[in-house]
Amino acid sequence: MPKAFECSSGSYEGTGAALVVTLGFKPNLLMIFNQEDGDTLGVFIDGMTDDTACVVTTAVAQDAADAITLSATGFALGTGAELNESGKTFKYVAIGGN
C-alpha cells in the first residue's frame, strides 16, 4: 500500500550560493523560515512555477533570487538572502504525497 504522505523537517545554513536540500521525496508543500532573524517565511506549493516562491516578510519587493524548485528528492534554493542568507540558520517543513 502506498504511503498517504511523507513529512520531513530540518534545517540548513544559508550560503548565499545556490543550495540543494535532499529529502528523499518530492514535497507537495514546503515552508521555510529564518530561525535567527524571525522575519521571513517562504512557502512553495507543488504546481507553482519552478524557480518561484511566495515569501512573506517585512515590506520588500519580489526577489527572483529567492526561488525554490522542487525535485523528486528534495528542493533547490536560489541565491537570495530571504531564504538562503549566508551564515543564517533556516528551518523547513516539507510534506509530500503520492
pLDDT tens, 51-90? 777 777 655 555 667 778 888 899 888 888 888 889 999 9
Phi, psi of 82 (to 5 degrees): -60, -35
**Tally of structural domains, the chain:** 1
For residue 57, the model assigns a pLDDT of 65
> Does residue 1 fall inside a structural domain?
no
Grade residue 49 by pLDDT with cuts at 50, 70 and 90.
confident
> Does residue 26 fall inside a structural domain?
yes
> Does residue 81 fall inside a structural domain?
yes
For residue 71, the model assigns a pLDDT of 87
15 against 82, higher pLDDT: 15
For residue 13, the model assigns a pLDDT of 94
Tell me which residue range forms the domain holding 14: 6-96
Cα(2)–Cα(39) distance, integer angstroms:
37
- Using CB atoms within 10 Å of the CB of residue 27, give its burial: 0 to 12 exposed, 13 to 18 middle, 19+ buried: buried
> Does residue 52 fall inside a structural domain?
yes
Q: Is there a contact between 23 and 12 (Cβ–Cβ < 8 Å)?
A: no
Cα(28)–Cα(87) distance, integer angstroms:
27
For residue 60, the model assigns a pLDDT of 52
> Does residue 75 fall inside a structural domain?
yes
